[in-house]
């Protein structure tokens, strides 16, 4: 249930529109009928956690949004702890946090947040929602909006498709990598990106649709 709420939240956040059953099925790696059944359950809870009408997609209710943010808060606090204290690498923390996020108590959350000094961002650079449900604003920008020639650090790749995230990672576009836009073609044309800040390093062309899902922080 928590994973569904989280998935709806993430789809809404990154696509800026209602999540569809198909997108949820793909994201959660489950069959569409199971998604539909779960969405019905979540919409019939008292209070309802989602607004769901078939063919019109699904949105979170205020109660659902707060629940999703709480799980995301747990997840990102755990990731920060694993990374900063237990010495996990950034690419190891996610899977571990996916499991642990469903099992910690509010007391543990409190202690963890205090221990970590109430961080606003996790090691991926993603904002950690606060207890009141507000979300820290990060000053990242999508790669295609980066000034040409300006080096930036990759904060996170938020594309909803795993294949795209894998492809982008295979080019070396991973959190903490340095990138530089060398050229942006007009009219939604490709964005040319140099991986690494030095002249002579590989330059790759990315569609705006992909570049727009890579969040960077100018350095
Ligand atoms: Zn994660």
The structure's pTM equals 0.75
Measured in Å, residue 216 CA sits from the centre of ligand 1 at: 17
pLDDT, one tens digit for every residue, the chain (219 residues): 999 999 999 888 766 667 889 889 988 999 999 999 999 999 999 999 999 987 788 999 999 999 999 999 999 999 999 999 999 987 788 889 999 999 999 999 999 999 999 999 887 778 899 999 999 987 789 999 999 999 999 988 887 778 888 899 999 998 889 999 999 998 888 999 999 867 778 899 999 999 999 999 988
- Listing DSSP states for 127-185 in one string gives B---TTS--PPP--EEGGGSPTT-EEEEEEE--S-HHHHHHHHHTT--TT-EEEEEEE-
Domain ranges of the chain: 2-60, 141-218
Q: Does the domain formed by 141-218 have CATH 2.30.30.90?
A: yes
Measured in Å, residue 10 CA sits from the centre of ligand 1 at: 12
Q: What is the pLDDT of residue 16?
A: 61
Measured in Å, residue 70 CA sits from the centre of ligand 1 at: 14
Contact between 68 and 62 (Cβ < 8 Å): no
Residues whose Cβ atom is located within 5 A of ion ligand 1: 94
Q: How far apart are CA 26 and CA 165, in angstroms?
A: 14
State in Å, rounded, how far the first CA of the chain is from the last one.
39
Q: What is the pLDDT of residue 15?
A: 67
Contact between 23 and 9 (Cβ < 8 Å): no
Q: How far apart are CA 186 and CA 150, in angstroms?
A: 18
Q: What is the pLDDT of residue 189?
A: 85
Measured in Å, residue 94 CA sits from the centre of ligand 1 at: 4
Q: How far apart are CA 131 and CA 117, in angstroms?
A: 14
Measured in Å, residue 84 CA sits from the centre of ligand 1 at: 14
Measured in Å, residue 79 CA sits from the centre of ligand 1 at: 7
Measured in Å, residue 139 CA sits from the centre of ligand 1 at: 19
Contact between 214 and 157 (Cβ < 8 Å): yes
Fold of 2-60: Arc Repressor Mutant, subunit A (1.10.10)
Measured in Å, residue 76 CA sits from the centre of ligand 1 at: 6
Measured in Å, residue 77 CA sits from the centre of ligand 1 at: 10
């Amino acid at each position: 249930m928590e994973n569904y709420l989280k998935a709806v939240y993430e789809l809404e956040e990154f696509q800026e529109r209602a999540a569809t059953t198909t997108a949820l099925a793909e994201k959660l790696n489950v069959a569409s009928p199971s998604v539909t059944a779960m969405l019905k359950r979540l919409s019939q809870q008292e209070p309802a956690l989602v607004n769901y009408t078939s063919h019109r997609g699904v949105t979170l209710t205020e109660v659902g949004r707060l629940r999703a943010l709480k799980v995301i808060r747990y997840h990102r606090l755990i990731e920060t702890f694993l990374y900063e204290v237990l010495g996990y690498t950034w690419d190891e923390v996610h899977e571990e946090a996916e499991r642990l996020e469903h099992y910690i108590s509010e007391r543990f959350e409190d202690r963890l947040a205090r221990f970590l000094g109430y961080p606003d961002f996790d090691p991926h650079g993603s904002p950690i929602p606060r207890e009141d449900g507000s979300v820290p604003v990060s000053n990242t920008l999508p790669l295609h909006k980066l000034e040409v020639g300006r080096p930036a650090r990759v904060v996170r790749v938020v594309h909803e498709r795993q294949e795209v995230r894998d492809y982008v990672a295979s080019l070396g576009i991973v959190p903490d990598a340095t990138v530089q836009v060398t050229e942006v073609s007009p009219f939604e044309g490709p964005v040319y990106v140099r991986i690494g800040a030095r002249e002579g390093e590989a330059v790759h062309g990315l569609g705006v649709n992909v570049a727009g899902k890579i969040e960077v922080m100018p350095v």
